[in-house]
Amino acid sequence: MDSRVAVASLGGTITMTGSGPVAPTLGAQDLVRGLEVGEIATLATIPGASLTFTTLLEAFDWATGQVADGARGVVIIQGTDTLEETAYFFDCLWPHDEPVVVTGAMRHPGLPGADGPANLAAAVSVAASENSRGRGAVLVLNDEIHAARWVRKAHSSLMNAFQSFPGPAGLLVEGAPQYFHPAHRLPSLPRPETVPAVPLVEATVDEDGSILDWLDVEGVVVAATGVGHVSAGMAEAISRARFPVVVASRTGAGTTFRSTYGFAGSESDLIERGAVMAGWLCPRKARVLLRLALGSGSAAEDVFAVRGSVF
């Protein structure tokens, strides 16, 4: 372990205790016992589903301050329900070579085989490693290291709930991280002062898109079918939208297309109507990126052209 690794907790299953249904109670000091780490902070004690972008920006500011004070890396602990979104939030904004590592637990401390201590120890090891520099934000659970842009929670409760479509970026071997590819990090976005609301709307069978007419927001992400397809009705609603519309694939893996299909509601049709295609980003990551882009005054089309593509 490395005493120059800073650790902060936001809550989640890893912090939950109770004699019946559990709730978050433990702080960062309780979690890091036995680990040699540097600065320790409890920034929140809430479940992952209740996190807000305000809380995440506070965590970002704290983490950036730790790096400025000499931290070799930063670990953020939180609930796994939204861990993939938090990882990508940090990845979009993180300007440092020092890594930021997010982790949590699938089993609370009162269950046999609770995974929190092992995940936290692995996360600290990853944050301290020289090989982790220049990789932005990564997610560490179950001795796997996942790149923030690819990882998703693919099962509600199993220990190996987190998966990446191209596979993990690396593994913990004998307690040390080993990566399969060289480090590569995209330029960070400016830190926004405020983050506008952006709802996520899923395209389904017999969905006419009228919900877009009711929304008073600054942007919307549509989780479209297949390679970026919606109904003809939703396509018309996208044409009427008074805000940026980003179209991502709801499938969980693969990219949106641009020019293969030509029917009303196809990817090429939506592009002609002004929609921005999310590329390889899933709808949840696309929502995070659109909110940060709008909040920082960045053009959505330019941001997604860079972050929605492969390296």
Q: Tens digit of pLDDT for each residue in 236-291?
A: 999 999 999 999 999 999 999 999 999 999 999 999 999 999 999 999 999 999 99
What residue spans in the chain does CATH classification 3.40.50.40 cover?
200-307
Given CATH 3.40.50.1170, say whether it is the number of domain 5-179. yes
The yes-or-no verdict on residue 311 having pLDDT over 80 is: no
Q: What is the pLDDT of residue 1?
A: 59
CATH, range 200-307: 3.40.50.40
Report, as an integer, the average pLDDT of 199-207. 96
Per-residue pLDDT tens digits for 60-118 = 999 999 999 999 999 999 999 999 999 999 999 999 999 999 999 999 999 999 999 99
What residue spans in the chain does CATH classification 3.40.50.1170 cover?
5-179
Q: What is the pLDDT of residue 310?
A: 84
Are residues 7 and 32 in contact, defined by beta-carbon separation less than 8 angstroms? yes
Q: What secondary structure, in 3-state letters, does the chain show?
A: CCCCEEEEECCCHHHEECCCCCEECCCHHHHCCCCCCCCEEECCCCCHHHCCHHHHHHHHHHHHHHHHCCCCEEEEECCHHHHHHHHHHHHHHCCCCCCEEEECCCCCCCCCCCCHHHHHHHHHHHHHCHHHCCCCEEEEECCEEEECCCEEECCCCCCCCEEECCCCCEEEECCEEEECCCCCCCCCCCCCCCCCCCCEEECCCCCCCCHHHHCCCCCEEEEEECCCECCHHHHHHHHHCCCCEEEEECCCCCCCCCCCCCCCCCHHHHHHCCCEECCCCCHHHHHHHHHHHHHHCCCHHHHHHHHCCCC
Q: How confident is the model at residue 54 (pLDDT cuts 50, 70, 90)?
A: very high
